[in-house]
A and B are shown apart, each in its own frame.
Chain A
Amino acid sequence: MSQTMLSIRNICKTFGIGTVNEKVAVENLSLEAEKGDFITIIGSNGAGKSTLFNAISGVFLVDSGQILLDGKDITDMPEHRRARSIGRLMQDPMTGTAPKMSIEENLFLASSQKGWLGSISKEDRKEFREKLALLGMGLEDRMESPVGLLSGGQRQALTLLMATYHPPKLLLLDEHTAALDPATAEKVLAITKNTVAENEITCLMITHNMQSALDMGNRTIMMDGGRIIYDASGEERDKLTVDSLLNKFQEVTGGVLDNDRMRLG
């Protein structure tokens, strides 16, 4: 039994229309994701991956096409209303948290359902402590420290916890480990894997690391020039290796995937 969670129908987005910088960022793109799908997205710079995420989360409205989330048309919905059901993590660990506020204050903003006038209670603190302990980063003993004092990995793990505190219908991960050192990235990816699986969150993850694109999730799509050029799942995907994926890219686009970072990643 499967249920469509995200349905993107023929969306287009062009930037700078009528100027010399006119750029078609996403062209007639369609994508369906089932509930619980974990889709990894790869593609060279400028392929339209982040534009796709911005369109889904409502940073801007698309020029044409339709976006449905859990059967509901969100094409014209403002960003903050979509944010109730869409969680998002960016590459820069600084973007997802308020540095001058403490860990518990950041968490409270993301977690509270007590309305605007509620404040942090003992029970809240207990719950925060338990959830932070699960991250395995020692944050549970520093709940009153400003988030600005944390390392990039710790901040990204905290942002992930905030984004999934009340499991969203859709989680968008935009290279959220790319700015971290390899060991920390590994750790954050493991936390991501657990969180997504435990809560059965539908998730899209952009990555430049071909290996983790294949290791994580159940489906991989490749983008180029604002379109999806390859979409693999099931058995076909199980057989893929980093090399065959790179060959695939060459075969479909006639070009070479533009950076070594992907191969080395």
Chain B
Amino acid sequence: MLSLMQTALELGLISSITVLSLYLSYSMLNICDLSTDGAFTLGAATGAIVAISGHPFLSIPAAMLSGALSGFVTAFLQTKMGVDSLLAGIVVNTGLYSVNIAVMGNSSLLNMNKTDTVFSMCKDLLKGSPLEENYRLLVALLAVLLVCIFLVLLLRTRLGLAIRATGNNLAMVRSSSINTTVIQIIGLCVSNSFTGLSGCLLAQYNKSVNIDIGTGMLTMALASLLIGRMFFRKRGVSFGVLGAVLGALIFRAVYTLALRFDMPAYLLKLIASVIVIVAISGPYFHGKYQEKRKRAKARVNN
């Protein structure tokens, strides 16, 4: 059970980087980036190819760069080419399927059993120390920590504030001297570089990439994000970042427990969908209910 929870923690940490990516694009920039699944797989594929060619450390920046590139295309389509924001994500996501197979060398499966990865490098590094068995956890923890610190610092800069303002009041930023197009492009590049990193880490963790590795990531990350939002409501950005990570961990933990109680694994994606629906429509119905009650009360008073 303990090792099961440790695995859940590791996988939760790795997927939390995608949740942080959505925190930036969905919560801050207010763009629903539907290319997440494809960008995740792209990062995984690119990272795997670079690692297989013998550069485990280079695989990280390569995967992030590929993600950023995909984010650039999505952002360019919606800001400069008149493609609707949601459609841009879907189109890029579909196109990425072919791109990803091409990146993986016309194959839909890559094996990294004998490849040096950032995880195996870390294991070698820790050989003989008491932490040796926890090498996976350490790598995942370090990655999440760095991304969190970067994100919190970024959101405090003028650029970060411009990203937040663009998501919060587009009309205001549009009539200011800030070029919203540039802000949206930068925002989606950074956010998708996180997604790529997350994919790269998961692939190296699994020691394999499958073309379907990213399928459903968007919904699962969104579910995590919305779970995380329940904590630290109305607190600052740093707590928002923390909430995103916490949400990812809780999602993973609940999933692992459900598996433990003999839930079939294929139900994961359905559960993620239901969580997203409940988290979004819950407050909606709550609002309607309140309104109805208020009206009923007013009627009684009359």
Contact = CB atoms under 8 A, between A and B. Distances in A.
A94 B168 CA distance: 11
Interface in B132-175: 156-159, 161-162, 164-165, 168-169, 171-175
B158 A83 contact: no
Contact of B161 (A97, A99, A109, A115): A109
A84 B177 contact: yes
Nearest to B162: A109
Contacts of B161: 101, 105, 108-109
Contact of A80 (B156, B168, B171, B178): B178
B175 A79 contact: yes
Contacts of A95: 169, 171-172
A114 interface: yes
B172 A117 contact: no
SS class, residues of chain A in contact with chain B? loop
B283 to A, nearest CB: 16
A120 interface: yes
Interface in A91-109: 94-101, 105-106, 108-109
Contact of A119 (B156, B174, B176): B156
Contacts, number: 65
A127 to B, nearest CB: 15
B172 A114 contact: no
Contacts of A117: 157-159
Nearest to A89: B175
Interface string B241-274: 0000000000000000000000000000000000
Interface residues of B, number: 20
A120 B157 CA distance: 8
A80 B176 contact: yes
The 9 closest A-B pairs by CB, nearest first: A83-B177, A98-B168, A116-B159, A98-B165, A84-B177, A98-B169, A119-B156, A100-B168, A80-B179
A119 B157 contact: yes
A88 interface: yes
A88 B162 CA distance: 18
Contacts of A96: 172
Contacts of A57: 175
Nearest to B153: A119
B180 interface: yes
Given A100-B164, A100-B168, A109-B165, A115 B177 contact: no
A110 interface: yes
Nearest to A57: B175
A119 B158 CA distance: 6
A79 B157 CA distance: 23
A142 interface: no
A70 B189 CA distance: 38
Contact of A101 (B157, B158, B165): B165
B152 to A, nearest CB: 11
A28 interface: no
A83 B156 CA distance: 23
